[in-house]
Amino acid sequence: MAAARDAAFNEVRLLGGRHVVLSTNVPLRQDGKPYANFPRIEDPAAAMYFTYKDKQMCFACDRWTRVEDNIQAIRKTIEALRGIARWGTGDMLQAAFTGFTALPAPIVAGMKRHWREVLQYGDGRPDAAIIRGCYQRLASLAHPDRAGGSTERMAELNQARDDALKELS
């Protein structure tokens, strides 16, 4: 399991992806790693989310009966796509990636997203300067006075920034 996970994360890194999240139904220890002797689970599906060229991507697989085999299938798919890029057919790579664009999370009334997700912060330790930088970058795009901006998105960014800075103190 660990070897499959590490290899998949490495493929995303080599591709140029960032903010990688691996989602499975495997129970995890407090440090985020799976238990060494986890029992076979009923749903072995795996999904890998990451950011590639400022777009959210999702690769998912549930074809195989073991979680690690589904993770390996995702890794091999990303490896093949990296080959497309190396072989000089980058237009094909962009076309291939359109099918893997992650769907936006549904906005449920009364349910807000975590500040890390809103600010696209990643897994690092919270840092006030980085939080402010993330906020400013996204606020410049989401401001209601800009094309594509909205008051709802700006309000969400403001709340996320406040929550992040509150967590620091």
For residue 150, name the pLDDT band (cuts at 50, 70, 90).
confident
pLDDT at 46: 93
Give me the pLDDT at residue 73, please: 97
Do residues 91 and 150 both lie within one domain?
no
Count each helix (H run) and each strand (E run) in the chain, helices first. Answer: 6, 3
pLDDT (mean) for 67-85: 92
Question: Is 73 strand, coil or helix?
Answer: helix
- Domain of 12, in residue numbers: 2-100
- Nearby residues of 9 by Cβ (< 8 Å), 6 or more positions away: 20, 22
Last residue of a domain, one of 100, 124, 144: 100
The whole model's pTM is what?
A: 0.55
Give helix 67-86 / helix 90-97 axis angle, nearest 10°.
150
Residues 32 and 85 in one domain: yes
Note whether 79 and 55 are same-domain residues. Answer: yes
Residue-wise pLDDT tens digits, 48-66? 999 988 888 899 999 999 9
User: Is 106 among the domain residues?
Assistant: no
Residue ending a domain, among 100, 124, 139, is: 100
